[in-house]
Amino acid sequence: MHFVEALSTNICEVSIIKLQDIVAYQIYPRSFQDSNGDGIGDIPGITRRLDYLKELGINLLWITPMYRSPGCDNGYDISDYYAIDPVFGTMNDFDRLVSQAKARGIGIMMDMVLNHTSSQHHWFQEALKGKDNPYHDYYIWKTAPKGQLPNNWQSKFGGSVWEYVPDLDEYYLHLYGRAMPDLNWENPKVRTALFQVMRFWADKGIAGFRLDVINNLSKDQRFPNDTFATPQDDGRNFYTDGPRIHEFLREINREVLAPYGLISVGELSSTTIENTNLYTNPARQELSMGFTFHHMKVDYPNGQKWALGMNDLPTLKRIISNWQVGTMNGGGHLALFWTNHDQPRALARFMNDDVYRDQSAQALAIIEFGLRGVPFVYQGEEIAMKDAYFTSIDRYQDAESRNAYAGLLQDGKSAAEALAILQQKSRENARLPMQWDDTANHGFSSHTPWLIPEHDDQHTVARASACPASTLAFYQELIHLRHSNDTLKSGRFELLDPADGEVFAYRRESDSEILLVVANFTQQVLSRRLPKGTYHTIIANYKKTSLTGDVLTLQPYEALILRTSK
Ligand code: NOJ
């Protein structure tokens, strides 16, 4: 039986789980739960916490890569697609995780990296042996006159995308780290080999794949220079949503996703609404849904990530609304999120992680879960975990953050200025170990964790579990509501008061009811007039709703969903 069917039979006795019925959770395995005392989270640790996840109410678990890897990019540099990295456990551990999760109605979604491998992968090691080697053409090679590069594209991790191999007098392309060479998707042998990899994992009964940087697979074969007119014109114009991408995705779907009935979520960086609809409209048979990132760039001044920036609420609302409406009308499907392992946590970024920490966490959750799409909770969001706020560059292990720091110093920033930018923008902020309880290392590990928190934080799962008003209890209630309300799952979306710079409010509508989702994004007490209707609260992060006539008074970071029938 296909996993999707098995999973849904378990949950609600229908034959195929619908996208709208999914609430997903993301695990960054290094930081979730260590079981063998080496300071690094692992698969048995995840299995141990399955009951916790079941109680939270989620039914899909995305786990970032656990394949064998030298770890230059924490697992996104795969050296063997067919092996579990010993740091995370064994293949038996993985099989047990899949079956234990399935027994609880939870599907496992593997993270699959099809754009690049590690330079340690035997395909690349063979490719280095010479132009006649059958694996040479598995990667993308170019030549250039002495002292020049094949083109001016910039790597996502800083510097050129081209790395010179003197023995071959050729450059290979790496959109990410230089230890992560890009695969040549023009070569049918590459595609066949990768489909075989995907089938191997599908045969294990997983529920689906999260497909890493999937819209970068097809490069413009002319490899032209980019203009650098804006920070975005850095080469990505020629590989984002590239010429053959839809053809490649339909092939993946036909060869692997459809035959196994797998759920798929594509990581779609710098894409457009039009392309997202093409990728995720079921009629096109490409992907089930997509992560898009435009709302994650509202605090990039002039498009620059590595600079201090402020959230601008009307801009954030406009972007979210455009994507909601655009995908609703185009039949596309979004994966919803505020944070992940590549983003600082949303709390400080959009709200307040200090005095109003729990109210803020709950308000963000209400806004996310109210939207049209599949909500993803990133580990720790459900206990309002904060950013790492490291005060020394030595604390950072992430290559992207360290490269950015070096670049900032080169551009003339002082060490203090560069650190302040990292504290706000580094993805390592969201990679601190989970805070389970008050024992050593917050119950994450008996050993010093691989990434050591600099500040002690009492927000733990154990404390939250003992408190009925905690953010954890709130998440459980919200997830339950999401599973039981059809308007949240599939109602129409409309943004209210786009220019309001303090309140985020929108409406979801079905044939039987209208829901108003409202959140105060400030620490002021605010009043807003509601549209016509008799409303009652179905969920809120404050005990009592203050509604007098049609005037709603909102406490700092108060958020709620109001219902009126039609
Ligand atoms: C996106 C992943 O989420 C990120 O962590 C990684 O660095 C890049 N892809 C490269 O694989």
> Which tokens is 477 given?
């209630």
Which domains, and CATH codes, for the chain? 3-117+188-479 (3.20.20.80), 122-173 (3.90.400.10), 491-565 (2.60.40.1180)
Ranges of residues in the chain with a pLDDT under 70 are 1-16
User: What is the maximal distance between C-alpha atoms in the chain?
Assistant: 79
Task: Find how far residue 5's CA is from the centre of its chain.
Answer: 25
pLDDT at 534: 94
How confident is the model at residue 401, as a pLDDT?
Answer: 96
Q: Which atom of ligand 1 is nearest to the CA of 177?
A: 10
Q: Measuring CA to CA, which residue among 295, 339, 342 is closest to residue 317?
A: 295
Q: Tell me, what's the pLDDT at 377?
A: 98
Residue nearest to atom 6 of ligand 1 (CA): 76
Which residues are annotated as catalytic?
A: 212, 267
As given in the structure block, the two tokens for residue 162 are 């081209």
Burial of 537 (0-12, 13-18, 19+ CB in 10 A): middle
Q: What pLDDT sits at residue 332?
A: 98
- Does ligand 1 have an atom closer than 6 angstroms to the CB of 76? yes
Rounded Cα distance between 65 and 77, Å, is 9
What's residue 325's pLDDT? 98
**CA gap 45, 29 in Å, rounded:** 9
Ligand 1, from 110, 117, 121, 212: best to mutate by most atoms within 8 Å of Cβ?
A: 212
User: Which sign does the torsion angle of CA 298, 301, 306, 307 carry?
Assistant: negative
| Tokens found for residue 265 | 């979520």
State whether the beta carbon of 398 lies less than 6 angstroms from ligand 1.
no
* DSSP type of residue 256: I
Q: How far is the CA of 485 from the centre of ligand 1 (A)?
A: 34
Single-letter code of the amino acid located at 288 = S
Q: How many residues does the chain have?
A: 566
Is residue 558 within 6 Å of ligand 1 at its C-beta?
no
pTM of structure: 0.96
pLDDT of amino acid 13? 30
- Pick the atom of ligand 1 nearest to 176's CA: 10
The string of pLDDT tens digits covering residues 479-493 is 999 999 999 999 999
Separation of CA 212 and ligand 1 centre (Å): 7
Closest CA to 320 of 371, 374, 375, 377: 371
Task: Decide whether any atom of ligand 1 lies within 6 Å of the 113 Cβ.
Answer: yes
